[in-house]
């Protein structure tokens, strides 16, 4: 990728470029944001349908993602630009698409919030999609790890474990952020030894990432820096917020050794016998 974070100016200039394909990542089936007005030419992807395996709590293989992208009229040579009402769902989609091997996938700076605030064009017409052939790409799962790896390295001096949930979730007062319910795990708390960094601390009000110097300072206060040779592992509840922190560290700041525990608290907080800290 040349630059995985693209500006609203850049995207508006490329709206008529047939090799730039825009996808709005939708968090909930009942959401009407896309129908009320979306970036011209954007298609709508519900995150679970597009980014998970059809039945398993697993990601699609590169071959399965090739079928989904081809069905959406996207070629392997196209540039994909992602955005959403909630920016963390767009970073999650970018993470999955990089793991399944799409060569050029990017994030819209400020996502939907900044685009709308700047009164840039929106449309309600749903674009007509013509399926195309998409050649399967080589996947790369190096940015992902699982629960057994996390448990095996608890307390390791070579790893920083970063919990980017809300302060209430980290403190063990809630298991989710939603005001309409509190669900997502059987137990409350955090993974032992995890440092806390609420993911919104990395963003401005309009969903832009904060300046690089400020991001470095925030992360350094939690023991994460480019000069440190320790690995950083990020988690939240379902790993959306974790991918936002991963994106900031990996692509905004250029940190090399950052990985996402995608099972996150939904998995860890429900496993029999796994330790919890409160």
Name the percent of the chain lying above pLDDT 70: 98
Q: Which residues contact 37 (CB under 8 A, 6 or more apart)?
A: 116, 122, 123, 124
Count Cβ atoms within 10 A of the Cβ of residue 13 and give its class: 0-12 exposed, 13-18 middle, 19 or more buried: exposed
- Answer for the pair 184, 237: CB distance below 8 angstroms, yes or no: yes
CATH of domain 5-117: 3.40.250.10
- Give residue 177's pLDDT band: very low, low, confident or very high (50, 70, 90): confident
pLDDT score of 1 more than 60: no
Can you tell me the mean pLDDT for 175-183?
71
Distance between CA atoms of 265 and 271, rounded to whole angstroms? 10
**Low-confidence winner among 25-29, 50-54, 67-71, 183-187 (lowest mean pLDDT):** 183-187
pLDDT score of 25 more than 60: yes
- Answer for the pair 99, 143: CB distance below 8 angstroms, yes or no: yes
* pLDDT value, residue 184: 77
Helix or strand (DSSP H, E) at 44? strand 43-46
Q: What tens digit of pLDDT does each residue of 230-256 get?
A: 999 999 999 999 999 999 999 999 998
Catalytic entry in 236, 238, 242, 260: 236
Superfamily the domain 144-268 falls into:
Rhodanese-like domain (3.40.250.10)
Q: End-to-end CA distance of the chain, in Å? A: 40
* pLDDT value, residue 175: 87
Q: Is 13 a catalytic residue?
A: no
- Answer for the pair 233, 259: CB distance below 8 angstroms, yes or no: yes
Where exactly are the structural domains of the chain? 5-117, 144-268
Place of tokens 């990432």: 209
pLDDT score of 107 more than 90: yes
């Amino acid at each position: 990728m040349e630059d995985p974070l693209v500006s609203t100016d850049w995207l508006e200039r490329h709206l008529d470029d047939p090799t730039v394909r825009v996808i709005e990542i939708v968090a909930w089936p009942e959401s009407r944001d896309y129908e009320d007005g979306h970036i011209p030419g954007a298609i709508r992807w519900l995150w679970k349908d597009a980014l998970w395996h059809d039945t398993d709590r697993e990601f699609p293989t590169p071959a399965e993602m090739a079928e989904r992208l081809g069905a959406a009229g996207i070629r392997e040579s196209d540039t994909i630009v992602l955005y959403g009402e909630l920016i963390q769902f767009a970073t999650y989609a970018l993470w999955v698409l990089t793991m399944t091997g799409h060569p050029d996938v990017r994030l819209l700076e400020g996502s939907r919030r900044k685009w709308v605030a700047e009164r840039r064009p929106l449309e309600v017409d749903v674009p007509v999609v013509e399926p195309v052939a998409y050649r399967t790409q080589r996947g790369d799962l190096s940015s992902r790890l699982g629960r057994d790896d996390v448990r095996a390295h608890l307390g390791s001096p070579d790893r920083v474990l970063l919990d980017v949930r809300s302060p209430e979730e980290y403190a063990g007062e809630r298991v989710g952020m939603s005001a309409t319910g509190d669900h997502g795990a059987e137990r409350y708390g955090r993974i032992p030894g995890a440092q806390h960094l609420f993911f919104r601390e990395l963003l401005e009000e309009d969903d832009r990432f904060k300046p690089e110097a400020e991001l470095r300072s925030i992360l350094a206060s939690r023991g994460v820096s480019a000069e440190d040779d320790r690995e950083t592992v990020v988690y939240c509840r379902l790993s959306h917020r974790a991918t936002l922190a991963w994106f900031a560290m990996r692509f905004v700041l250029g940190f090399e050794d950052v990985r996402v525990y995608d099972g996150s608290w939904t998995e860890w907080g429900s496993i029999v016998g796994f330790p919890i800290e409160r």
